[in-house]
């Protein structure tokens, strides 16, 4: 199983760190994406086996895609990765407070209306 994390801010880093330190998934099966190369480099310095990209390759290659971005970015990123999700059909996990399932599915094409989706409400104490 591969897990992709899109967004490597405070919450994303905490999730990545927890995954990498657990026995749940090998470090090499964690894929991360962020528009800021410096965020990726910081994570890679601690976890060198993690695969990283400034593109959203995690959406195309992962069995579980965790979208860990600010709430106002969710819609745009979902629209951008929708074609990749149509091919890979992962389980989608959205970590953004105040973003409803209706808002999530409204940004996806009808062909993804049955895509498994979960919401996590972030808690900054984990970061």
- Mean pLDDT, rounded, for 85-96: 94
Domain ranges of the chain: 3-126
DSSP assignment letter at 73: G
Helix-helix angle 37-46:10-21, to 10 degrees? 30
Whole-prediction pTM:
0.92
- 51 or 23, higher pLDDT: 51
> Taking the alpha carbons of 108, 113, 118, 120 in that order, is the dihedral positive or negative?
positive
pLDDT given for residue 73 in this prediction: 96
Q: Which CATH number fits domain 3-126: 3.40.50.720, 1.25.40.10, 3.40.109.10, 3.40.250.10?
A: 3.40.50.720
Confidence of residue 55 (pLDDT cuts 50, 70, 90): confident
């Amino acid at each position: 199983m591969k897990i992709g994390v899109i967004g490597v801010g405070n919450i994303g880093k905490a999730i990545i760190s927890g995954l990498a330190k657990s026995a749940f998934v090998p470090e090499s099966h964690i894929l991360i994406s962020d528009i800021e190369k410096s965020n990726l480099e910081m994570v890679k310095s601690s976890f060198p086996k993690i695969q990283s990209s400034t593109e959203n390759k995690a959406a195309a290659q992962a069995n579980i895609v965790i979208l860990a971005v600010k709430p106002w970015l969710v819609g745009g990123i979902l629209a951008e990765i929708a074609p990749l999700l149509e091919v890979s059909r992962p389980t989608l996990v959205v970590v953004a407070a105040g973003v409803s399932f209706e808002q999530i599915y409204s940004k996806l094409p009808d062909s993804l209306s049955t895509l498994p989706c979960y919401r996590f409400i972030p808690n900054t104490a984990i970061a």
